[in-house]
Amino acid sequence: MSGYISGLLALLAINTIIAYSVFVPASAGLLNLGAAGFVLVGAYCAGALTALWDVSLWLAVPLGAMVAGLVAFLIAFPILRTRGIYMVLATFAFAEVVGGVLINIPALGGAAGLSVMAYAGLPVVAPVAVLVVCFVAWLMATRFGLSVRAVHDDENVAHLFGVHLRMTQVVALTIGGAIGGLGGALLVHQFNFIDVQSTGAMFSIYVLLYVLMGGTQTVWGPLFGAFFFTLVPEGLRKLSEQDPSLKFLEGGRYIVFGLAVVLLMMWRPQGVVTRTMLENLRAVRGGPHQPQAGGRS
């Protein structure tokens, strides 16, 4: 496998992990525009452990995820006091505060960013991404997952049926923060560098789009969103290099990509992958229902 393909697949795996960090809170009705904050916490924590204290990569990465999860747990209580657009702004403000703090710590590189020597690579990143997808799929199938979906669909009805709204949302935000920290810890050790400027507001917006465009109704939505946002722009760039007639894509591929996103959201405002779509696919694969002998259909 070439270095280009390996790097692209590693980036796809990391984007998938970070997408699920937003999906879990979104499944509980919490729109998180502060994904960059949790990614930075996990990245700088794990990066500092390996670069400054020679901690093993296998220990630094989970520790970075745990610290990000702890931060998510602590900020969940004030953030959950807000509603609607104010909650989105609160998570965005959290990411900006994290970036402002980290950029003013000289020991962590300051504005120049943090460089590390430890390298993760595709053999590490890809299995972790698969584990994250399997974990979230399992989580959504548990009693907690049912509570999360109930809160997302209607908080009042969920409360009437005995769902603890605050606890469910705190746990969802904590798990999402930990997954985001895991993605950040892998990100810094995949590219051996991270800085606040490249992991800012636009980063959080892109990750939120992964989830909203893919769909929040099923666990497969963020996976589609990560694939689309990672591979389509790169595919357009490669086309512009290989075909002279498509040279305009070199500078305008993001315009084409943006139009594709707008059209897709107009066509599927609820996201590409929905529960209804999956149920229809299962029905097609299962074939028409056949009545049993001696019974009614």
**31 found inside a domain:** yes
**277 found inside a domain:** no
**235 found inside a domain:** no
**297 found inside a domain:** no
The band of 296, judged by pLDDT with boundaries at 50, 70 and 90, is very low
Q: What is the pLDDT of residues 166-190, one digit of tens each?
A: 999 999 999 999 999 999 999 999 9
Number of domains in the chain: 1
This prediction's pTM: 0.91
The pLDDT of residue 27 = 92
Q: What is the pLDDT of residues 21-77, one digit of tens each?
A: 999 999 999 989 999 999 999 999 999 999 999 999 999 999 999 999 999 999 999
**255 found inside a domain:** no
HEC per residue, 34-100: CHHHHHHHHHHHHHHHHHHCCCCHHHHHHHHHHHHHHHHHHHHHHHCCCCCHHHHHHHHHHHHHHHH
Cα(130)–Cα(270) distance, integer angstroms: 25
DSSP string for residues in the chain: --HHHHHHHHHHHHHHHHHHHHHHHHHTT-----HHHHHHHHHHHHHHHHHHS---HHHHHHHHHHHHHHHHHHHHHHHTTS-THHHHHHHHHHHHHHHHHHTT-GGGTGGG-EE------HHHHHHHHHHHHHHHHHHHTSHHHHHHHHHHH-HHHHHHTT--HHHHHHHHHHHHHHHHHHHHHHHHHHHSEE-STTSSHHHHHHHHHHHHHH-SSSTTHHHHHHHHHHHHHHHHHHHHHH-GGGTTHHHHHHHHHHHHHHHHHHH-TT-SS-HHHHHHHHHHHH-S--PPTTS--
**247 found inside a domain:** no
**254 found inside a domain:** no
**182 found inside a domain:** yes
Q: What is the extent of the structural domain holding 28?
A: 3-214
| Mean pLDDT for the stretch of residues 250-275 | 78
The band of 258, judged by pLDDT with boundaries at 50, 70 and 90, is confident
